[in-house]
Amino acid sequence: MLSSNKIILEALAVLKEHGIEDFVLCPGSRNAPIVHTICQVKEFRTHRATDERCAGFMALGLALATCKPAVVVVTSGSALANLYPSACEAFYQHVPVIFVSADRPQAWIGQMDGQTMPQEGALGKMVKMSASLPENDIWHANRLVNEAVLEARYKLPYGPVHINIPLSEPIYDFTAEALPRARKIEYRETLLPLQDPWGLEKDVPAEDWSNSVLILGQATPMDRVHPNILRLTHTHITVIGENLCNQEADLYTNASDIDWSKMKPVERVLTLGGHIVNKELKDFFRKNKPKEHWHISHDGAVADLFGCQTAVIKSDYTKALNIIFQDICRKSQKMELPLKKKRSANDKRTALIRELFDTIPHTSLVHLANSSTVRIAQHARLKEYFDKEKHTSRRPYIFCNRGINGIEGSLSTTIGIAMAAPQWQKVFAVVGDLSFFYDQNAFWASPLPQNLHILVFNDGRGGIFNTLPVPQEHETSRQAIMGEHNLSARHVAMLHNIKYLEGEENMQEFINSEETTILEIKL
């Protein structure tokens, strides 16, 4: 039997109508009727997590892997506050996560009653919409939940939303037999062709794109450029990208391969997608500012990365590039980029990541943690294979919490991705020691997916600080800044009964393992 609360039934029925399937459930009393009802609906897939911080990132991983919204359900009070880090990441990475919080009746907030605080709007600007459902108006509740789903999944840019559900006693009343048939509000948007500021008309001279580059930023599988239009563009102008753009490697030159000290200034830069990691690239264009910088974005927001932006284009990436290509192909000549000489990897982490990328199955998924791991991985190339049936190259997708680039949530997101992936599809996390130990509560997920593989680089400190001018002479401040420690992942693995390996000589056993495995490399 389901909860007798009609608002709970209506809210979940709307989510069902929209085809939402994955729910990460956290323990609690006030959210018990929501959790119980979710568990009784056969169309819903449930995943358990004890730590709300981890739960938010697990939902993020589920949404990334499925390209559909994922829901996380928490109880009242400070439980909701623990979702803020994952809300930040989902907001800046444009991932549709739906945060659902149970709440106490509004009259009891601020009256010294347990687990009460103002919950509507608690996630602030890091959600696209925050709605607190009425306790007795089904129509209003239906409309608000529909609006929340549309904001999260259908209105560009995608992103997180928050649904707050105040519940009065009695809450442990289960008499409903099934969810009602709820109203579903559909969203349609006709993307009109861009206006013609670039001379696409036949009687207007074409722009000269010969001294231009296209730079691809971070993209999830949900919003990357269609490879066909990118392949056409790549034949006419220079395209620069990184592993995080998740495009086929033969469609762009990796920014890490370019000798930026020998790079010549360009007239026009076209950027699209999310964050760009390569510091040399950003420094070059900030010092050698192009005359024009156009940025294609979902939300039309200004992103003046190089300090010289001249245009922002609000559009779907593929559609905008398809229209601009009509002008590019009329007058263009690809630039020759100065490339670095191929060098062997002197850094152990770089060499091991290269070995990992060269060896993992092409069906794998990779999740990079933050900071040093992401930067080092830019110097490695994922092995691709040619799909004879589709006549395209394929490689594993790379995910990364680069939306806000916080230390929290790396393992939790990876676990969420692994939960959504089939058992035969291996999921590899590459993580530093601080990120690993910070997010170790992620291993409370039950059950842990067996396709999960975690490579931990442990140098007893934050690796990024090895490249920064941290004061070395003062021991106390150095230890505090760099997060120095003497911990080992072995003990975490023992605690959670996870297979543990140590040392680079075990890399192949790690990759071939058919169970949840941690490989720790001590540097």
Per residue in 335-350, pLDDT (tens digit) is 889 998 876 666 788 8
DSSP assignment of 259-321 equals -GGGPPP-SEEEEESS----HHHHHHHHHS--SEEEEEESS-----TTS---EEEES-HHHHH
Q: How many beta carbons lie within 10 A of that of residue 323, not counting itself? A: 18
Least confident of 95-99, 112-116, 120-124: 112-116
DSSP assignment of 462-503 equals -GGGGGTT---S-HHHHHHHHT-----HHHHHHHTT-EEEES
Supply the pLDDT for residue 164. Answer: 97
| Angstrom distance (rounded) from CA 13 to CA 390 | 38
Q: What is the mean pLDDT of residues 207-221?
A: 88
In the chain, what are the domains?
A: 2-170 (3.40.50.970), 212-328 (3.40.50.1220), 348-522 (3.40.50.970)
Q: Say if strands 311-314 and 253-254 run parallel, antiparallel, or are unpaired.
A: unpaired
CA distance from start to end of the chain? 55
Residue 191: pLDDT over 50: no
Residue 148: pLDDT over 80: yes
pLDDT of 256-265, one tens digit each? 999 999 999 9
Over the chain, what is the mean pLDDT?
87
Whether 339 contacts 257, CB under 8 Å: yes
pLDDT range class, residue 192, cuts 50, 70, 90:
very low
Q: What is the mean pLDDT of residues 251-255?
A: 92
Residue 316: pLDDT over 60: yes
| Angstrom distance (rounded) from CA 95 to CA 159 | 5
Supply the pLDDT for residue 198. Answer: 40
Maximum average pLDDT range among 157-161, 219-223, 376-380? 157-161
Supply the pLDDT for residue 223. Answer: 83
* Residue whose entry in the numeric block shows the structure tokens 């709007």: 121
Instruction: Pick the more confident residue, 183 or 479.
Output: 183
| Angstrom distance (rounded) from CA 179 to CA 6 | 9
